[in-house]
Amino acid sequence: MKKLISLLLTAALMLGLSACSSAAQAQPTSQAAQEPTAPESAPVSQKPTETASPAEASEKSGSRILVLYFSRTGEQYNVGVIEKGNTAIVAEMIGEATGADLHEVLPADDHYPMTYKELTDVGLQEQRDHARPEYAGDLPDMSGYDTIFIGAPVWWGDWPMIMYTVFESTPLSGKTLIPFSTHAGSGLSGFDRSLAAAYPDCTIAKGLAVAGTDTQNNPDKVKTSVANWLNELGF
């Protein structure tokens, strides 16, 4: 009788060990397999915050828009002697389309030649000297503007030095700045990057570059480019 009971206990023990071994083989062997996975419907990130366009920001704040620009007349590249500066033409188009105020930056001492070659020589020398030519009069009160278009002709791949006089003397903290240029082939020429360096706490929106020859010879083309650009910005 005792032998029978012993045999039964031995058989039960063997069956138990076999079941444990099978269960162990059924368990996942990697850490990744053991970690629960999120269901497909689970959110993986918060919804990104929508950023208002420059036009929407200005409309919500009820503030005005300013076009601040520097421009030159006289002999210009490939268009001869002009009575209205290339940048002034673009600035007026922006003002007409947006209802913005306009302010032209004028030199206090207008020593700039009216012939193109001599003008470029003066512009290059000012750049080499890191000159800061004074501008005439006062700039508008910037406190009433949230969005400021800033334009100039490209001189030797950069803003004319008089515009750096403006940047270094005019606080524009928290505003949206939108550069535009007129050029003879160099495009926007880093105007946006220079503005970002001068005003690191401002929002720099996408700029526009316009060939100077187009402003004089094909104004309808320029007007279309300006309209498309402003539409892209939300105006």
pLDDT value of position 3: 40
SS3 (DSSP) at 193: helix
Q: Which CATH class is domain 64-229?
A: alpha beta
**This prediction's pTM:** 0.76
pLDDT, position 50 = 41
- The pLDDT value recorded for residue 163 is 98
pLDDT confidence of residue 52: 61
By the 8 A CB rule, do 83 and 73 touch?
yes
What pLDDT sits at residue 41?
A: 27
- Dmax of the chain from CA atoms? 127
List the chain pLDDT tens, one digit each, 235 residues. Answer: 344 334 443 444 343 434 333 333 333 333 232 223 222 222 222 333 345 666 665 555 455 999 999 999 999 999 999 999 999 999 999 999 999 999 999 999 999 999 999 999 999 999 999 999 999 999 999 999 999 999 999 999 999 999 999 999 999 999 999 999 999 999 999 999 999 999 999 999 999 999 999 999 999 999 999 999 999 999 9
Q: Are strands 203-204 and 176-183 parallel, antiparallel or unpaired?
A: parallel
Which H or E run contains 178? strand 176-183
- SS3 of 152, please? strand
pLDDT of residue 54: 66
> Domain map of the chain by residue range?
64-229
Residue 63: predicted pLDDT:
52
Predicted pLDDT at 40: 27
